Amino acid sequence: MPIIDLLSTETVICDLQVGSKKRTLDTISTLVSNRADNISQDDIFTGLIERERLGSTGIGKGVAIPHCRLDDLEKPIGLFFKLSKSVDFDAIDREPVDLIFALVVPSNCCDEHLSTLAQLAELFDDDHNRSRLRQCTNSIELYQALQSMTS
């Protein structure tokens, strides 16, 4: 599935204020639960925290890709944030994070999940892509930038 198909103008947020990694995961949980009627915010938060315990999803260069798989989820849900202020995400390079792509997928979508994570890693490994996203000043501009990068 193309990355942009996981997003909409409602799931891309520019200058989000969170303050911490835990608050970021809580915000992700709330927003995903608003889009998935049969999954509670607590179940999503627990899934994200359990994944973080395996190792930080902060992939370096100011980017994190928090993700998890959930049994009762019907379809993949993606969110993208550009934070107003970087947060410590225990990233592998110890740099704070300001670009976050959250991904929550059904448990039975293992291959699709891994493929999407690989696409995201490639997208965010590109210096030009990260710079372009950081220059966006509103959510529509951010969505359009992602759209052009992933189409």
The residues carrying an active-site annotation are 67
The end-to-end CA distance of the chain, in Å, is: 11
Say if residues 88 and 140 touch (Cβ distance below 8 Å).
no
- Token readout for 7 is 């997003």
Give dist(CA 111, CA 134) in Å, integer.
Answer: 30
